[in-house]
Every structure is written in C-alpha cells, then in structure tokens.
C-alpha cells in the first residue's frame, strides 16, 4: 500500500484499515490476517502514548505515517499500531483484532494477534508499505460504512468517551462486541 494511505487523518485511516490484510514474513513462513478491529489515537488526547510529547518509547509515533509502533504492556504483551498522519504528528491506530487468513489463529485481541504473528519490539519502526520489511499491510477488501460499527475505545482509563473504536459488524473475530 502507498504511504499516502497512512498519512491521512487518523480516524479515517482507522476505519479504512478494516478489511486490509496485515502480513508478516517470519522464519520463512507467511502469516496473514484481515484487520477487523481498530482504535484511533491522536497526540492531543490523554489516552495516546504521544500525549506528553516525544520519549524514547514513543519516538516512532512521530515518524510519517506507514510505520509500525510496537509497545510492551503489563510486562508480558506486545501491541502493534500503525503510525498515521504527517511526520511530527504523534498519531497511530491500534490493531485490535484480525480474522485469520493464513497460518494464524486466536487473533481476537491486540496481544493475541502479536503473539500469533510473531510481532515484538523488534518490529517497532518497520515500513508497513514495504513487503521487504517483513511486516506490511496490503489491500484486500473495502468495508462499506454500513458494515462498520463505531464505539468508544476499550482498555483505557482516559478519554474513554471518544468514539474511535471501529470494527466489522457481526465479525466473530472482534475482541469484544458492542
């Protein structure tokens, strides 16, 4: 996919990522899942990792859209985001769930999908527009607006009322339905 897809408004990208494939080449094997659930995070709101500015942990979020931002939570899990907007913006979209397509299962949560796809901090900052990076996003299908459910984000304690969580209606692989 072209970088211009990722350098647009974060909420728009979060919706448009639904139906795209997240692909991972690991140890000579291709892993693939269709993105079925996302959450948008913008620097100007307190649930975003970039809210307090640039740090060593979040510096990738300030790159131009189209790179991966992978972080470690609860001392045991990785979560993967897609950096969005222009360089310096500090915005990203959390990939919350995948529908298994190839060589994966149990991907109905951000930590589960990272485990299934072998995504760790080693994949932080990879170019998601380049298949040679080992982690990329490719076109698959367009999800029509009437098939996208919009809700508030989950698993956060600040800015909980923002309606920036999106998922494919009636998809069984969503982490938590409305």
pLDDT at 178: 62
Handedness of CA 59, 61, 67, 68 (dihedral sign): positive
For the stretch 49-94, pLDDT in tens is 999 999 999 999 999 999 999 999 877 899 999 999 999 999 999 9
Q: Is residue 175 part of a domain?
A: no
Q: How many CB atoms lie within 10 A of CB 52?
A: 11
Residue 173 lies in a domain: no
pLDDT at 76: 84
Cβ–Cβ < 8 Å for 54, 123 = no
- Domain ranges, residue 48: 3-168
Does the residue 91 lie in any domain?
yes
pLDDT tens profile 63-72: 999 999 999 9
Q: Residue 154: is its pLDDT beyond 90?
A: yes
| Residue 178 included in any domain | no
Model pTM above 0.75: yes
What span, in angstroms and rounded, lies between the C-alpha atoms of 43 and 50? 5
Domain harbouring 107, CATH code: 3.10.300.10
Average pLDDT of 146-166? 96
CA atoms 118, 86, 49, 147: torsion sign: negative
Neighbours of 4 (CB within 10 A): 10
Establish if 174 belongs to a structural domain: no
Does residue 177 sit within a domain? no
d(Cα 91, Cα 102) in Å, to the nearest integer?
Answer: 29
Amino acid 74: pLDDT:
78
Please state the domain count of the chain.
1
The answer to whether residue 11 sits within a structural domain is yes
87, part of any domain: yes
How far is Cα 10 from Cα 125, in angstroms, rounded to an integer?
17
């Amino acid at each position: 996919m072209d970088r211009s897809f990722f350098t647009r408004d974060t909420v728009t990208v979060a919706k448009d990522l639904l139906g795209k494939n997240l692909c991972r080449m690991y140890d000579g094997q291709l892993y693939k899942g269709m993105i079925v659930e996302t959450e948008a995070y913008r620097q100007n709101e307190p649930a975003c990792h970039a809210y307090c500015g640039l740090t060593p942990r979040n510096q990738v979020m300030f790159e131009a859209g189209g790179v991966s931002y992978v972080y470690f939570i609860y001392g045991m899990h990785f979560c993967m985001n897609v950096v969005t907007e222009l360089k310096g913006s500090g915005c990203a979209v959390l990939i919350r769930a995948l529908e298994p397509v190839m060589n994966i299962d149990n991907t109905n949560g951000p930590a589960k999908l990272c485990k299934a796809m072998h995504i760790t901090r080693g994949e932080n900052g990879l170019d998601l527009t380049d298949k040679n990076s080992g982690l990329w996003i490719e076109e698959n299908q367009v999800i029509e607006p009437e098939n996208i459910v919009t809700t508030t984000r989950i698993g956060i304690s600040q800015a909980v009322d923002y309606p920036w969580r999106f998922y494919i209606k009636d998809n069984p692989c969503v982490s938590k339905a409305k």
